[in-house]
Amino acid sequence: MLKELNNGMKMPYIGLGSSRISNIVEVVCTSIKDGLRLIDTAFYYKNEDQVGEGIKKALDEGLCKREDLFVIGKLWIEHKNDPEKAIKDTLAKLKLDYLDMYLDHWPSGNNYTKDGVIKHPSIYELWPKMESLVDKGLTKSIGCSNYNVQSLLNLLSFCRIKPVANEVELHPYYYQEGLKDFCDKENIALIAYYPLAKGNGAKNYVKEHNGEMDIFKEKIILDLVDKYKKTPGQIILNWEVMQGIVTIPGTSNPKRMAENLGALDFKMSEEDIKSLNQFGKKLKFCGCRRFFGMNILA
């Protein structure tokens, strides 16, 4: 099951998000053996070399060919002045000749620190450099991450190569319906990170608010688990995939990745999808304030 992008490329609907996972080499290699074909990484995760080792191990063992994989990398904030050097550094760590997709990790902006303002190139200055990466064959496609509608509108007003995707936080607690509608209209694929409302961001939120929260224990999820005879994770991932959303759950357990891929073998009803769409508690776990010193998004 593949998602067709606006440039004609196709990508898997379920992949591996590599942020803050351990045992990466084994997880990547074993997951590829179990059917994984989409891998998401980034400079900021500080594990590109380990992801590359896992991919190389899988290729050396003949588990798949490079062209079978869809690998996503991301441009970090401090590297916006020279995206070409950044992507070449990423490729060297991943031991690859090209990426399938390269994303601007956060919208261009300024860092507001205790030492003053650190300025970065505007998106108008950055995007032509991103487009040149496609022209030079360093990546087959380019896209965005953490962009809202206003940021995308700005980019679409002048870009030569349209972004193929926008990777954002999206899960039943935080269903971005307006952004999804806009991206659907503009044929920009949505990629969901934190798709299971797990990870450090969610844990920190719970800790800061002195409470307990687990999407897997919500009644609406448990009712669907009983109805479809699937795991809570499979229910949530299927909810995303059935709406055309690519999803990249992270896991340090290779067996969990195989379970995640099992979310593709059933079809949730439109009624159940709508019920989860309306469930959202509007809880966002990954904000940009810690990167920029202020909320740059509306």
Q: Model confidence over 146-175: pLDDT tens digits?
A: 999 999 999 999 999 999 999 999 999 999
Q: Left (φ > 0), alpha (ψ -120 to 50) or beta: where does 3 sit?
A: beta
Q: What percent of the chain has pLDDT over 90?
A: 79
d(CA 8, CA 208): 44
What mean pLDDT is predicted for residues 40-66?
97
**Position 213 confidence tier, pLDDT thresholds 50, 70, 90:** confident
Active site residues: 45
Whether 78 shows a pLDDT value over 90: the answer reads no
Of 25-29, 205-209, 292-296, the range with the lowest mean pLDDT is 292-296
What mean pLDDT is predicted for residues 35-48?
97
If you average pLDDT over every residue of the chain, what do you get?
91
Evaluate if pTM is beyond 0.75. yes
What mean pLDDT is predicted for residues 22-51?
96
Position 104 scores a pLDDT of 97
Position 298 scores a pLDDT of 40
Whether 297 shows a pLDDT value over 60: the answer reads no
* Token pair 């390269």: residue: 102
What mean pLDDT is predicted for residues 252-262?
92
Tell me the two tokens of residue 153: 């509108």
Position 209 scores a pLDDT of 65
What mean pLDDT is predicted for residues 211-216?
80
Position 189 scores a pLDDT of 98
d(CA 197, CA 214): 8
Q: What is the DSSP string of 152-221?
A: HHHHHTT-SS---EEEEE-BTTB--HHHHHHHHHHT-EEEEESTTS-SHHHHHHHHHTT----GGG-HHH
Choice between 207 and 85, residue whose per-residue pLDDT is larger: 85
Architecture of domain 11-286: Alpha-Beta Barrel (3.20)
